[in-house]
Amino acid sequence: MSVSIVKSLREDLCDYLANEDAQGITEYGAVLSFVAILVALAFGFYNGSLSNAVSKAFSAVVSQLENMSAAAANSS
């Protein structure tokens, strides 16, 4: 009986390892982690100058969106 359990576990493990869906998810997670580490390091090394640049960029985008929204509201 224990031989059949071991054989069944072995077959299940082989089937699991042959499944490539898990590989794609794992690779995606690894790339995402790597990018997050790079971003964290970039913010750490630039002592706030990078965060100021990002803040200015987002402020400009928000300003443009508000202008577009106001123009659309005035035209209707």
What pLDDT does residue 19 have?
Answer: 67
Do residues 35 and 6 both lie within one domain? yes
What pLDDT does residue 40 have?
Answer: 82
What pLDDT does residue 76 have?
Answer: 67
Q: Would you say 50 and 42 are in contact if contact means Cβ atoms under 8 Å apart? A: yes
Do residues 40 and 62 both lie within one domain? no
Report the chain (76 residues): mean pLDDT per 10 consecutive residues: 74 74 79 90 75 87 92 83
Do residues 10 and 38 both lie within one domain? yes
Which tokens hold the place of 18? 């042959």
Query: What is the number of domains present in the chain?
Result: 2
Buried/exposed code over 9-45 (b: 16+ C-beta within 10 A; e: otherwise): eeeeeeeeeeeeeeeeeeeeeeeeeeeeeeeeeeeee
Which tokens hold the place of 56? 């200015």
* Euclidean distance between CA atoms 40 and 16, whole angstroms: 34
